[in-house]
Structure 1
């Protein structure tokens, strides 16, 4: 389950930011996750609760912001939103798409005390 290692890395980033910015406790973590990131949200939420125990993020809330996948269509020249990597272009039904976003995972914001 790679969600556990993702959460462990997330805690490391939070602890680094706490040292750099001088906060002691995290109340909420706002995490952006792309449609194509391959992350199971329920598993990530479970792992987050486990990994945060006895850290500065203990009892913190994890808020997931799901980001859509976008692609550039070479056939019609438009940037479009797609739900899977094999979708046709919703504008022209072409299949000449290059994925632009949707595989990211990043901390958008921390609510701290």
Structure 2
């Protein structure tokens, strides 16, 4: 259950941004979660709802999640592609030699603060 430690880090980052911008509270938190990030989205949401209660800045914040697709650069045909679920080869040339360019991370996209 690494989602709890990720939420803890996310809320800490949000609080630091609020302090740096002289905000009184954070109303909305927007994140992008990659398909291969290893984060279970439902558990992530539940952890956020539990952990935000301990934050003076995030207590009333709403969490918005965008799921990032798995994007690759094929090393054989140099094609950028988005892979479908459970398909791990280039859609153009069918090669399994590629570099993942997006879809493995979690990113804080935007904060709405007052």
TM-score by length of structure 1 reads 0.92
SS of 1:59's equivalent?
A: coil
Give aligned pairs, total: 113
Partner of 1:58: 59
| Gap runs ≥5 in structure 2 | none
Take 2:2 and 2:28, find their aligned partners in 1: how far apart are those partners? 22
Inter-partner Cα distance in structure 2 for 1:95 and 1:11: 37
Distance in 2 between residues matched to 1:107 and 1:2, nearest whole Å: 17
Counterpart mapping for 1:1-113 below 5 A: 1-55=1-55, 56-83=57-84, 87-113=88-114
Which 4+ runs in 1 deviate beyond 3 A? 83-86
Q: TM-score, normalised by structure 2?
A: 0.91
Unaligned runs of 5+ in 1: none
Separation in 2 of the partners of 1:54 and 1:8?
A: 10
